[in-house]
């Protein structure tokens, strides 16, 4: 889901494409921006048939934009991605294997927290926010991060559309609903770098 992402989006897209197979797709949902984001993502779509750009037809905002992205996905497993992060390791294959081995509905993995220049900070996401599996505990303080999540496509039937009121993030929504209705499995390996910088759409506030 992208909006005014010109500063970092090339790094993110490159890191995703590097890990994708020939039958995978990268769905980019575009919220009307004031920078060169659209030109950048259109260039990628022209150069690689696995990249599809879909404009967000509804009201702007991160929740509606992620709903549009997810509703346009055609694959068996759906990976969420922020526009300013970087995927590392064998992220896709590691997560898909976990789905196949465990029958999970949602897989969440650890990730490095980094600054704007990708310098790794002292603690990982799991170390900072915990590994709570109780859905009610996660309502009190969310420790799920959307950028570290992937879910089976059938989950979409009961989590979309993501809420746009009450300041309930799509990651909290996914974690709590799948926690009650399905099976969540964790991967302790760090498979992405999550940038913390002044222009993040999703902030570091998790309450």
- pLDDT value of position 73: 97
Model pLDDT for residues 119-149, shown as the tens digit of each residue:
999 999 999 887 766 777 777 777 778 999 9
Confirm if 79 and 92 have CB atoms less than 8 A apart. Answer: yes
DSSP 120-181: EEEEEHHHHH-----HHHHHHS----GGGEEEEGGGHHHHPSPP-STT--HHHHHHHHHHHH
Which residue's structure tokens are 């068996």? 76
**pTM metric for this prediction:** 0.91
- pLDDT value of position 40: 98
Cβ atoms < 10 Å from Cβ of 62: 18
Model pLDDT for residues 44-76, shown as the tens digit of each residue:
999 999 999 999 987 889 999 999 999 999 999
> Does 203 score more than 50 pLDDT?
no
User: What are the beta bridge partners of residue 195?
Assistant: 114
- pLDDT value of position 199: 55
């Amino acid at each position: 889901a992208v909006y005014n992402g010109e500063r970092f989006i090339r790094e993110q897209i490159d890191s995703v494409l590097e890990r994708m197979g020939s039958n995978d797709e990268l769905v980019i949902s575009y919220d009307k921006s004031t920078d060169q984001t659209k030109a950048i993502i259109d260039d990628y779509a022209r150069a690689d048939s696995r990249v599809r750009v879909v404009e967000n037809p509804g009201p702007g905002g991160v929740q509606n934009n992620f709903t549009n992205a997810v509703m346009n996905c055609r694959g068996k497993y759906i990976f969420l991605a922020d526009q300013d992060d970087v995927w590392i390791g064998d992220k896709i294959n590691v997560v898909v294997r976990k789905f196949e081995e465990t029958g999970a509905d949602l897989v969440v993995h650890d990730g490095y927290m980094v600054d704007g220049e990708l310098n790794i900070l002292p603690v990982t996401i799991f170390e900072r926010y915990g590994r709570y599996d109780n859905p009610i505990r996660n309502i009190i303080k969310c420790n799920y991060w959307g950028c570290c999540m992937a879910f089976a496509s059938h989950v979409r039937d009961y989590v979309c559309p993501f809420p746009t009121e009450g300041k309930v993030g799509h990651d909290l929504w996914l974690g709590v609903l799948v926690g009650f209705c399905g099976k969540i499995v964790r991967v302790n390996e760090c498979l992405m770098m999550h940038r913390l910088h002044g222009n993040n759409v999703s902030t570091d506030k998790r309450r």
